[in-house]
Amino acid sequence: MATVSGTTVAAREAAGRYVFAFADGGGADTAILGGKGAGLAHMTSLGLPVPPGFVVSCRAGRDYLLAGQLPGEAKSEIEAHIQQLETAIGRRLGDLTSPLLVSVRSGAPVSMPGMMDTILNVGLNAGTVQALGRETGNEDFAWSCYERFVETYARVVRGISPSEIEDCMMDLGDRASRADVLAALLALVEEQGGSAVPDEPHDQILEAAGAVFRSWDSPRAKAYRRFRGIDDELCTAATVQAMVFGNRGETSGSGVAFTRDPSSGAPEPFGDVLFNAQGEDVVAGERDAEPLSVLAARLPDADQQLRQALGLIEADTRDLCEVEFTIEDGVLWVLQTRVGLRSGRAAVRVAVALVEEGRITIDEAIDRITPAQLEAAAAPSFASEPRAEHVIARGLAASPGAATGTAVFDPGRATELAAEGTDVILVRPTTSPSDVAGFIAARAIVTGRGGRTSHAAVVARGMHRPAVCGIGEVLISEDRRSAALAGVTVREGDVLSVDGDRGLLLRAKHEFDQPANDPAVRTFSSWCAERVQVTAPSGSPLEELRVIDTLADLESSATSAILDLSDPTEVPPADLAKALVQHTGPAPFLRISQKWLGAADVRLRGRVRGIEVPSSATSGGLLRATLEQA
Amino acid sequence: MTPADSEFETLHLARIRSLVPAEALGDISDLLENGLLTVTPRGCMLTPAGFERHEELLARWRNMIDGARLATTYERFLAVNQPVKDLCSRWQVEGKDDEALFMTVEDLSEILDRAGSALRRAAGVVPRFGTYPPRLQAALDAAREGDGRFITDPRVDSIHNVWFECHEDYLLSLGRSREEEGSF
C-alpha cells in the first residue's frame, strides 16, 4: 500500500483503527462500517453532498459489548473526529450561537431495518436549545426537539420503559407546559436511569454510541436475527452525523425527490418540497408541499445541485431512486437514498426505459418485475389525461386503478344500491369505521380530507378499491342525496369516474385503456413471451396443452388462460408462449386443470414462479401459476 | 348497569362498528321492537331513530363521565395514532412476505405497548376502553402466528380495525370530530 492517505478503510482497521470519517473512502466495507455507515461513505465517494460524519466501527461495538465500555483508543479517535466534523460544517458542539447537533445511528453489516436504536438531536441542553430556537426562529420546534431527545435518551440510553414514560406524561395531566414536561422527563431519567442526562455534548455522544451498541443485544434485535439466521457475533456500528435543518427560514426546506415519476414512470425528476420545514413535516402532510418544479425559480442553485445529485444516484443504482433531501440556508444536503417504491405501471415502464437507455439488460428488467407489479400494470386505467371540464376535483392518488359508477354519499345507501347491482362510487368528507360497510360495497372511494396514510386510503388499498383522498371540502346535504364536492354540486345517481392513478374525480364515464395499448407493457410482454418455457411431466407431451378458454380473473381483472391438459393436441409447444400472451395479455396467468396437476409431477420451467391454490371463488378447481423467471 | 346504561352501550357499539353480529350485542329484542336497531343479512345496524336516540343518550352520558381525565389519555393515544397508521400503510404498500410481517408485528407491538398505558387509564374512567387492549393483543398474536390479515384487513378483527374503532370511540366520547382535530 502506498501513502497513509491512500490507505483503504480495511487496511486502517487492520492497523487498529476504530473510527472512520465518511470521506475516508467508499469501497464495500460493510463488515467494518455497517450498512448505514458504508452507505454514507459510498454516497460521499460518489460526490453527493452528504452531511459530514464518522463511523465508530462494528469492531468497536464488539469490544464495547465484551468489556462494557469503549476502548480508550476508540474514545480518543472519536474526539479527533468530532473536531474534524466541527471544522467541516463550521459549527461547534455546545456552542451557544450556532451549535452543532448530531444523530447517532445504528447500522449492522446485514440489514436489520428498524430493529436497533437511533438518537437524534444529540448536543441539545438547556443552553443550545435556546440557540436552536433563535436560529430556526421557532422556539416551539427547538423545545420539541429537546423533549424528543430527552425522551429517547430515557428510553434508549437509560432503558426506561415506554409505559413508565407514558405514565409519567399522563401524571402531568393535559395542562402541563412544555417546561413541566421537560422537567418531568429529566427528573425521570435522574431517578430511574441512574444519573441525570449529561449537559456536555461530548458525553452525550459517547453514551449514545454505547446505547446503539447495546441495542444489538435488545430482545427485538435478537428475535430478528433468529428469524433471519443472522450471526450474533457481527455487531452494529454507530454512525455519528451532523444534523441539518430545513427550517432555518425561507431559503431552507425539505423534500423527497424521485429520479423518475414513481406513478407514471415518466423519465423526469418528481417530488415534493416544503420550504422552511423539516423532513417529517413533508411526510406528515400537515402542510401542503409544493411540486419540485418550483425549486428552479425559488432556489436555482439548490435545484441545480439536486438535479446533479439525482443524476449521480441513478447512474450508480441503474434504477428509479427515492431521495430525501434538506436545503439549509440555500445549500442542498442529501440525507438518504433508496430504490423507490413505484406503481406497477411505472415499474414496467421504467424497466423498459432502462433497457432502451442501455443501462440494464432484458434479463435484469424481467427479474425486477414482480407478478404483482405486472398484474397492476395490466389493471384497467383511464386512457388519457381527461379534458379539464370533466375534472370535478383533484386529490391524492391514494389507491390505484380506475372505476366508474353512480355517486352515493351515504354508506348505508351504498350498501343498498350495490346489493341491487349498481356500481357505486362512495364519496365521504372523512372516514369513520361505520363507513367500512359502504367501502366494501363501493367500486371506488373518494374522501374530502386525509392523505395517503389516512384510514380511507389504508382500507381502500386493503380491498383493492381505487381511491382518491383529500379532494377538498365535501359538504353533504341533510337528506344525503346530494353534495358539494370542492364547490361542485353532485347528486346521487350522477355518473362519476375515479382515477386512482392520477388522483382525479371525474364527471361521466370514461374509456378504459386496455393495458396492451401501453407500448412499454407490450414490449415487456414480448420479452417475457420469448422466455416462456413449459415442461410437461414425463409421458405427457406438451401437445396436450390446449387453451380452451379465457377467464377474467375475479380479483385482479387480469385475464387468464385456461389450459386443459387432459385433452390432446391443439396447441403445439412452439405456439404456447404466443398463445399465452395472446390470451392473457401482459399478465400471463396459466391455469392448469387440477386433474393434470394432481396426477403427475408438473414442472413449469423458465418464467414460472410458484403455483397458488386459487380462492374458492375460482371455479373449476384450477390452479394458477404466475409466469416469470424460476 | 341500569337498563338505560345497557341501552346506551349497545347503541354505542352499533354506532361505532356500523354492522355488528347480533350475538355480539346480547339481548336486543327491545331495541328491535322500538325500531332503534335493524337486522340485515350482514349484521345489526342503527336505524335513523336509533342514531338519534344514541346521540341523545351520548350527550347525557358525556355529562356523567370525567371528560378531562379521559381527554388526558386521548392526548397520549393521539401521539401514537400517526405511527400506527403509518405502519399499517407501510404494511399494505411494501409488505407481503414473512419478513415484512415480522417487522410490522415488532414495530406495532412496541407502539401498542405505549398505547396500552393510555387505554388502561382510559378504562379507569370509562370501562369500555378496557375492551380494546385485549382485542389489539389478540390481533397482534394472530399476526405474529403468521396471519397477515390481522394487520389491516377490514373483514377480520384486525389491528387497524380495532384501532380505528377505538379512535372513533374517543371522538364520540369526547364529542370531537376528525375535522376539528385534523386526524383522519
Q: Within 10 A of A177 (CB to CB), how many other CB atoms are there?
A: 10
- Residues A250, A251, A253, A259, Cα dihedral to 10°: 140
Instruction: Chain B: give the shortest CA distance to residue A147, in Å.
Output: 14
Alpha helices in B40-97 (DSSP H): 48-64, 67-94
Confidence label for A282 from pLDDT (cuts 50, 70 and 90):
low
Cβ atoms A485, A472 nearer than 8 A: yes
List the alpha helices (DSSP H) in A420-541.
436-441, 455-462, 519-530
Q: Are A367 and A386 in contact (CB under 8 A)?
A: no
Which of A223, A436, A457 minimises the CB distance to B154? A436
CA atoms within 13 A on the CB side of A144: 7
A462 CA to chain B: closest CA distance, Å?
A: 6
**pLDDT given at position A516:** 55
Q: How many CB pairs under 8 A join A and B?
A: 118
* Nine cell digits for residue A170: 399522563
Of A324, A355, A199, residue with least CA distance to A259: A324
Minimal C-alpha gap between A11 and chain B (Å):
35
The answer to whether the Cβ–Cβ distance between B178 and A113 falls below 8 Å is no
Contacts of B148 in chain A (CB under 8 A): none
Alpha carbon distance A504, A444 (integer Å)? 12
Residues B184, A440: C-beta atoms closer than 8 Å: no
Residue A411's closest chain B neighbor by CA? B18
* Residue A454 with chain B: CB contacts under 8 Å: 85, 184
* Lowest-confidence region among A46-60, A209-223, B13-27, B115-129: B13-27
Residues of B in contact with A115 (CB under 8 A): 103, 106
Q: Which of B54, B117, B129, B145 to mutate to test the interface with A (most CBs of A within 10 A)?
A: B117
Residues contacting A200, CB < 8 A, separation 6+: A94, A125
**Which residue among A166, A453, A457 places its CB closest to the CB of B118?**
A166
Q: Closest partner residue to A166 among B117, B154, B184, by Cβ?
A: B117
Distance separating alpha carbons of residues A233 and A231, to the nearest angstrom: 5
Q: What is the pLDDT of residue A244?
A: 95
Q: What is the pLDDT of residues A88-141, one digit of tens each?
A: 999 999 999 999 999 999 999 998 877 888 999 999 999 999 999 999 898 988
Query: If we measure between CA atoms, which residue out of A571, A628, A562, A553 comes closest to residue A595?
Result: A562
Residue A15 near residue A52 (C-beta atoms within 8 A): no
CA proximity to A246, closest of A135, A152, A320:
A135
Residues 6 or more apart whose CB falls under 8 angstroms from that of A221 comprise A112, A115, A116, A215
Instruction: Find the farthest-apart pair of alpha carbons in chain A and give their distance in angstroms, rounded.
Output: 85
B38 contacts on A by Cβ (under 8 Å): none
Sheet (strand A482-485) strand order: A474-476, A482-485, A488-491
Block residue for cell numbers 353512480: A406
Select the residue of A284, A372, A453 nearest B89 (Cβ to Cβ).
Answer: A453
Cβ distance of A173 and B92 shorter than 8 Å: no
Cβ contact (<8 Å) for B179 and A372?
Answer: no
The grid cell for A385 is 389525461
Please tell me which of the candidates B18, B82, B103 has its beta carbon nearest to residue A437: B18
A537 in Cβ contact with A600 (< 8 Å): yes
pLDDT in tens, A126-168: 999 999 999 989 898 899 899 999 999 999 999 998 888 988 9
pLDDT digits (tens, 9 = 90+) for A24-42: 876 658 999 999 999 999 9
Cβ contact A433–B164 (<8 Å): yes
List, for residues B111-145, the tens digit of each pLDDT value: 898 899 899 999 999 999 999 999 999 999 999 99
Contact A115 B17 (CB under 8 A): no
Rounded to an integer, what distance in angstroms lies between the CA atom of residue A345 and that of residue A400? 10
Q: What is the chain B residue with the closest CA to A167? A: B117
- How far is it, in rounded angstroms, from Cα A297 to Cα A553? 48
- The pairing of strands A237-242 and A321-328 is unpaired
Of B89, B102, B117, the CB nearest to A227: B102
Q: Can you tell me the distance from the alpha carbon of A20 to that of A622, in angstroms, rounded to the nearest whole number?
A: 58
- Tally Cβ neighbours within 10 Å of residue A484: 14
**ipTM over 0.85 threshold:** no
SS3 labels along B23-34: HHCCCCHHHHHC
